[in-house]
Structure 1
Amino acid sequence: MSAVQSKHFLNTPESLVIDSLEGLCALNPQLSLDAANKVVYLANRDPNKVALICGGGSGHEPAHAGYVGEGILTAAVCGSVFASPNASQVRRGIDLVENNKGVVIIVKNYTGDVLNFGLAKEQYAALHAEKSDRAKFVIVGDDVAVGKTQGKIVGRRGLAGTVLVYKIAGALANRGASLEEVHSVAQWVASRVGTIGVGLEHCHVPGTASGDSHLSSSEIEIGMGIHNEPGNRRLSPVPSLKELIPQLLEHLLSTSDPERSFLPFKGKNASEEEKDRVVLLVNNLGGTSELELGAIVKEATKGLESEGVIVERVIAGTFMTSLNMPGFSLTLLLLPSSNDTSSPTSSQILSLLDEPSNAPGWKWTSHAKPGVPIQSVAIAKEDEGNVKKVEEKLVAEDPAAFIDAVKRACKALVDEEPEITRMDNIAGDGDCGLTLKAGAIAVLKEVESGRISGDDVVGSAISVSRVAEEQMGGTSGALYSIFFSGLAQGLQLNKPSNSNIVTPLLWSKSIQSALTKLYTYTRARPPSRTLVDPLDAFVTSSSSSQGGEPDFEAAIKAASEAALNTRDLEAKAGRSAYVEGDRLRNERIPDPGAWGVKTILQAFGA
């Protein structure tokens, strides 16, 4: 894996935290900032409601200041990146939320946070003896990657489960509950959360030297902390989510591991009435895309259901990060069973979790159990029936050779994907190689199923058109789909009445009409630095013979030269039109789409 991403958008590393807090307050006018002490707090708050204070090192945004708002936190005290604020900062935070009911201080279980927030609490009590019983303390340690032996003295680290403690305790405080009630519920939630993190790489702290990769390109690390602390094991090669998620859930659900059985799950064998019920929090550690996060949610929900766990709520998004770490964490909040009279009820916990908040860090939630995707099988079958059946099939001159050529072209695209992707990372948006590879793999499946064969060339062209539309998508998928749809039409329109064999001359006429169809829907014309350049060269060269047999070998050569020549062309259309011109000239990168056409034609004609 390449070195850790170490570039950042900032004024200076030293000013980044305060700049960020000022930006947060500009975003949310209900907030105020004590800049000297880096305390964000609610400007207008009800003095008859319990206040909640949290905090810790910065770099975990939106935690902690992002949760200051009605229904969650009253104030957050922020340190430098990954460094606890000092006790005087925290004491200032307590003073700023002075009220008639008291304050609950919630911190993650890290030594600096516990010591500095604890010291501030004791100093506050010493200065205000009459209020000493009006400041309560909650420590959250939810990291199941830290075994009981390893954490015997220091305990487990605090991770994203802390956010659920904020939300539930904050909603209860907002309802006007007493200090004892808020503290008791916060303690209970803290005792029922477990979190496991996983990362592809560590993160980089602004202002520090650029680091080398901690993990190889084939490794993934389970149990990483949110301050670049190492995990408890590495896996190689990087597993699929279907392989990874069950391993993470085992850490959370285990009732037999003497080191990690932290939560009282009943397991698969529990009766229907006593089945484990949970809230699932899927948290982005900073560098994971929303696209990937959705897939993680799906697999985690599915994995819990397969373990007999009832998922009452799924919450997903960026809640507690490790700066720009490419990773995620799973948190489970184990809800109380129906016969547990010593705890809040499950409905109470869920109602507090569902209660709205205007804190910017809190994400949208459904307030309902996860849904089941609706499958549109009936529609798919109906559409399939709408494909027009060709009465008389057109056959390739050598059906076996035709299929071999199709397979060669597809395999060539798959092999060329890394190079096309490299080109497109410079000349476009980076997806051309993967798009063509996806199309090629789908075409090979059509060949295996018999829907593409040399005994039905028109049907094969229609199948390729459908694959391009459904499996490739985007601009290139549409262009390929239109071209092959036009090819299917051209084969039928130009077919001689006395033969059903697709001759070279019929191929030539048909691809000419296909190109004409394509030009109806795109303004790109050669030279344009697009896939049109080699495609036009191929079609034009193959049809240039004066009534004679088309020379496909010369046409392929012309297409190859046209694709190569795109490296020196000014981009007038397509993805490259948005790339700064000097960079394209300096790099001399051929157009990726044109290179894909060249790859197909060379392999097909080999």
Structure 2
Amino acid sequence: MAVVVEQTIPFANEQLDAENPTRWNTLYPLIRPSINAVETTTGQTVLVDQSLANDKYVRVAVVGRAGNFSSKLLSDTHITAIVTEAGSNQILSSKEIAKAIDEAGHQQHAGIVVLRSGKQRSMDKIEEDLLEVVVKGDLEVDHLIHLLGAATESTRSSIESTREVLEVFLETSTTATSTFRTGKENGQAAILHAEGKPSGYDEAREAIEKALEHVLRPHVDQNEGTTYSLHYSDVNGLSRLENYILGLEIATYLRNAGLSYRLSTSTLLQHADLARGFSISVCPVSKQYLEAQAEPTNPLADEATEGSNLTKVDSRYMKFTDQAVRSRIENGCDAVIKEEATITRYDEIVGDGDCGYTLRDGAKQVLKFIANRDLCELPQTLSELMHDLEVNMGGTSGALYCIFLTSLSSSLAATDSVAAALAVALEQLLNYTRARLGDRTMLDCLIPFVEVLKSGGDVSKALEEAEKGVESTKNLEAKLGRSTYLDESATRGVPDPGAYGLLVLLKGMCAS
């Protein structure tokens, strides 16, 4: 896992104006057009989602704190109302929130639950069909949003059943927060765990296992009729790849422990504390209230190879020799390592400045991994490499490489040429990114290279077209990524660092 300890928000806090509730009240309806702003008699605003007006379920209203933001408020469509409070002098009562929901046309429902973030857990019955719940921090608010949304239909249809679930959460749920520190422990990136003991770590799973052991310890005696509701959140912007790693490691841990679970995630932006890390919350719930989730499938696996054993390549297709494969991989990785300074210099102009380090560290990890592997079994080796690489290569480039190579490991075992396998892997990658040719990304190098090979062109022609693609990025306007925050004049004449780094890798691999 790549650990970023410097804030990378491209705008200053003053520019974001995140602590101004009026800003959020303006943005939310733009992001979700079904939201209607309802003004209360005290002049405050309740944002009510009109798409839920005809639902018969218990309504969920969330009171957020200005200056903080949770992706859960955008991603979960069962939230009926959102209120952003600026401070203790502008607290809106649960009765006023319920009144605003009813005035918006949500009068036929099973009741209303208002969720607030506070210092101590509590639940008050304001009216017969109105509950107010206070939990400790935004993580627990997000967990309850998930829990109430994932509850069985019979639970969501009854305010009494909903109250029982809320009581279980308040009485039994446990949380843990681990924070990445700017210092180091024994020369490694340091992490401060929930139990207050800092340590260095080699892999993501070590940090996650410590947090999971901490939150699950009070629940070891749960019976088989329990579903573990578990919510995790990255705090202040880990990369998307790091988020995927968190989810994978958590799901693997729970599965290996033989636990039935439902898992959800969110991103928390907390301006009051810019320390980065992740938080985990767990609550054991009876299966009558919460059904376990189905085992997730691998979206990258080809249908023909889903669940198959890739340790042997089908003899009808390609065969690989260790020496030839090793030579190409080593030459490509060595080329990237040597060009790290140039890639970094380009990225310092148009990006975060970490692209060179990311590609260099990934190349070093690949060389280390293949040192004692039999590369005749390339598909299996490549698949195993991805499990290793995903915790050692961060950033957008790292995520794209991992997705592409994961698909390539499958397609190499089921196609009759490297060109065909690359084409399949590219098609899969395009399902996971909005980037396309001309968007000033690494795809401006990858797409022409693969398409020339697929159409029967030779490697030299493919490299020539890939180089043209990289050259074209010098005059392209960035449509995705960090470069979009810059004026076009700032990026003109500088190639996209990711595209240039990929070209270096391809040239190195093809030189042999």
Deviations 1:81-120 (A, max 9, x none): xx45634565532443467987544333326x98xx98xx
Match for 1:278: what amino acid?
Answer: Y
1:423-434 equivalence runs, <5 A: 423-426=346-349, 431=355, 434=358
| Structure 2 gap segments, 5+ residues each | 377-411, 430-441, 479-486
1:58 to 2:66 alignment: yes
User: What residue in structure 1 maps to residue 397 of structure 2?
Assistant: none
**1:348/1:474 CA distance change after superposition, 3 Å:** same
The CA deviation at 1:278 is 1.2
| Structure 1 gap segments, 5+ residues each | 126-130, 144-156, 202-212, 224-230, 255-260, 268-272, 337-345, 351-366, 397-402, 453-461, 490-513, 531-570
Deviations 1:367-393 (A, max 9, x none): 832235465655674456533689xxx
**1:519/1:76 CA distance change after superposition, 3 Å:** closer
- State whether residues 108 and 162 of structure 1, in contact with CA within 8 Å, keep that contact through their aligned partners in structure 2: no
- State whether residues 249 and 304 of structure 1, in contact with CA within 8 Å, keep that contact through their aligned partners in structure 2: no
- State whether residues 265 and 276 of structure 1, in contact with CA within 8 Å, keep that contact through their aligned partners in structure 2: no
Q: TM-score normalized by structure 1? A: 0.52
- State whether residues 59 and 111 of structure 2, in contact with CA within 8 Å, keep that contact through their aligned partners in structure 1: yes
1:108 equivalent among 93, 117, 140:
117
Deviations 1:15-64 (A, max 9, x none): 84223223323423353332731322356857998655441413443478
- State whether residues 59 and 322 of structure 1, in contact with CA within 8 Å, keep that contact through their aligned partners in structure 2: yes
| 1-structure distance, mates of 2:16, 2:137 | 34
**1:431/1:334 CA distance change after superposition, 3 Å:** same
- State whether residues 37 and 92 of structure 1, in contact with CA within 8 Å, keep that contact through their aligned partners in structure 2: no
1:265-344 equivalence runs, <5 A: 265-266=220-221, 274=224, 277-311=227-261, 313-318=262-267, 321-322=269-270, 326-336=276-286
The CA deviation at 1:172 is 6.1
The CA deviation at 1:244 is 1.4
When Rg is computed on C-alpha atoms for both structures, the one with the higher figure is: 1
**1:524/1:293 CA distance change after superposition, 3 Å:** closer
The CA deviation at 1:315 is 2.6
User: What residue in structure 1 maps to residue 23 of structure 2?
Assistant: 19
1:347 to 2:288 alignment: yes
| 1-structure distance, mates of 2:449, 2:57 | 64
| 2-structure distance, mates of 1:529, 1:64 | 38
Match for 1:316: what amino acid?
Answer: T
1:195 to 2:136 alignment: no
| 2-structure distance, mates of 1:408, 1:49 | 61
1:217-296 equivalence runs, <5 A: 218-223=189-194, 232-237=196-201, 239-254=202-217, 261=218, 264-266=219-221, 274=224, 277-296=227-246
User: What residue in structure 1 maps to residue 392 of structure 2?
Assistant: none
2:146 equivalent among 148, 153, 164:
164
2:460 equivalent among 501, 510, 518:
518
1:124-163 equivalence runs, <5 A: 135-141=130-136, 158-163=140-145
- State whether residues 427 and 575 of structure 1, in contact with CA within 8 Å, keep that contact through their aligned partners in structure 2: no
1:420 equivalent among 318, 334, 343:
343
**1:321/1:415 CA distance change after superposition, 3 Å:** same
User: What residue in structure 2 maps to residue 4 of structure 1?
Assistant: 7
User: What residue in structure 1 maps to residue 100 of structure 2?
Assistant: 96
- State whether residues 466 and 503 of structure 2, in contact with CA within 8 Å, keep that contact through their aligned partners in structure 1: no
- State whether residues 285 and 322 of structure 1, in contact with CA within 8 Å, keep that contact through their aligned partners in structure 2: yes
The CA deviation at 1:235 is 3.1
Corresponding pairs, count? 419
The CA deviation at 1:423 is 2.8
User: What residue in structure 1 maps to residue 484 of structure 2?
Assistant: none
- State whether residues 286 and 326 of structure 1, in contact with CA within 8 Å, keep that contact through their aligned partners in structure 2: yes
| 1-structure distance, mates of 2:29, 2:38 | 7
| 2-structure distance, mates of 1:309, 1:597 | 43
- State whether residues 118 and 136 of structure 2, in contact with CA within 8 Å, keep that contact through their aligned partners in structure 1: yes
The CA deviation at 1:575 is 6.5
- State whether residues 424 and 431 of structure 1, in contact with CA within 8 Å, keep that contact through their aligned partners in structure 2: yes
Q: Helix, strand or coil for the counterpart of 2:47?
A: strand
**1:62/1:188 CA distance change after superposition, 3 Å:** same
- State whether residues 279 and 334 of structure 1, in contact with CA within 8 Å, keep that contact through their aligned partners in structure 2: yes
Match for 2:193: what amino acid?
Answer: I
**1:109/1:24 CA distance change after superposition, 3 Å:** same
| 1-structure distance, mates of 2:168, 2:495 | 63
Q: Helix, strand or coil for the counterpart of 1:348?
A: coil
The CA deviation at 1:325 is 6.7
| 2-structure distance, mates of 1:586, 1:240 | 38
The CA deviation at 1:287 is 1.3
**1:297/1:236 CA distance change after superposition, 3 Å:** same
| 2-structure distance, mates of 1:187, 1:600 | 61
**1:466/1:97 CA distance change after superposition, 3 Å:** closer
Match for 2:85: what amino acid?
Answer: G
Q: Helix, strand or coil for the counterpart of 1:219?
A: strand
| 1-structure distance, mates of 2:94, 2:183 | 34
User: What residue in structure 2 maps to residue 505 of structure 1?
Assistant: none
The CA deviation at 1:214 is 8.8
| 2-structure distance, mates of 1:3, 1:57 | 24
**1:170/1:21 CA distance change after superposition, 3 Å:** farther
**1:416/1:86 CA distance change after superposition, 3 Å:** same
- State whether residues 107 and 140 of structure 1, in contact with CA within 8 Å, keep that contact through their aligned partners in structure 2: yes
1:386 to 2:317 alignment: yes
Q: Helix, strand or coil for the counterpart of 2:44?
A: coil
| 2-structure distance, mates of 1:408, 1:169 | 53
The CA deviation at 1:298 is 1.3
| 1-structure distance, mates of 2:238, 2:132 | 33
The CA deviation at 1:240 is 1.5
- State whether residues 5 and 275 of structure 2, in contact with CA within 8 Å, keep that contact through their aligned partners in structure 1: no
Match for 1:38: what amino acid?
Answer: T
**1:91/1:348 CA distance change after superposition, 3 Å:** closer
Match for 2:118: what amino acid?
Answer: N
Match for 1:58: what amino acid?
Answer: A
**1:42/1:170 CA distance change after superposition, 3 Å:** farther
| 2-structure distance, mates of 1:426, 1:384 | 48
The CA deviation at 1:248 is 0.9
The CA deviation at 1:303 is 1.0
- State whether residues 222 and 234 of structure 1, in contact with CA within 8 Å, keep that contact through their aligned partners in structure 2: yes
Match for 2:7: what amino acid?
Answer: V
Question: Percent same amino acid at aligned positions?
Answer: 14
User: What residue in structure 1 maps to residue 84 of structure 2?
Assistant: 78
| 2-structure distance, mates of 1:249, 1:181 | 28
- State whether residues 63 and 82 of structure 2, in contact with CA within 8 Å, keep that contact through their aligned partners in structure 1: yes
Match for 2:163: what amino acid?
Answer: H
